[in-house]
């Protein structure tokens, strides 16, 4: 049983302003964006939870604890492919109108990310 989760659902609800994803690393916008994202991650996931790292290097393929994910987001930046996913789930007025309930499962899994490991069992 993997505790690993994709944070993409979070990202969709968190990022009202996701322009920071394409800003230069270590620019204020980038730092603030990462900080904002991590704040939500820390609120939603357990202390020791691991999530799929959405940085440009890991591209949601690598499971890391939150501290490392944070590091990666600072160092590598958020994968810009995220903007596409987000656009496609767009209806974000104010943050978190969670029509997608507060449950972890709903938040954790988005699209195919995170489900790959279980597919072969069928």
In the complex, which residues of this chain contact Zn ion (CB under 5 A)? 53, 55, 57-58, 72
User: In whole angstroms, how far apart are CA 32 and each of 2, 39, 41?
Assistant: 30, 10, 14
Which residue reads 């996931």 in tokens?
45
- Minimum Å distance from CB 76 to Zn ion? 6
Q: Which is nearer to Zn ion, 24 or 57 (CB)?
A: 57
- Minimum Å distance from CB 80 to Zn ion? 14
**Cα separation of 100 and 20, whole Å?**
24
User: What stretches of 12-86 adopt beta strand conformation (E)?
Assistant: 50-52, 63-65
Q: Which is nearer to Zn ion, 55 or 86 (CB)?
A: 55
- Minimum Å distance from CB 61 to Zn ion? 9
Q: Which is nearer to Zn ion, 68 or 100 (CB)?
A: 68
């Amino acid at each position: 049983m993997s505790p690993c989760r994709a944070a993409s659902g979070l990202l969709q609800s968190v990022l009202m302003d996701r322009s920071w994803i394409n800003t230069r690393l270590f620019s204020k916008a980038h730092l603030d964006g990462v900080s904002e994202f991590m704040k939500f991650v820390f609120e939603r996931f357990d202390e020791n939870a691991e999530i799929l790292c959405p940085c440009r290097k890991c591209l949601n393929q690598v499971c890391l604890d939150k501290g490392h994910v944070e590091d990666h987001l600072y160092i590598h930046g958020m994968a810009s492919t995220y903007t596409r996913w987000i656009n496609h789930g767009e209806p974000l007025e104010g943050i978190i109108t969670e029509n997608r309930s507060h449950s972890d499962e709903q938040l954790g899994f988005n699209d195919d990310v995170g489900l790959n490991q279980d597919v072969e069992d069928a």
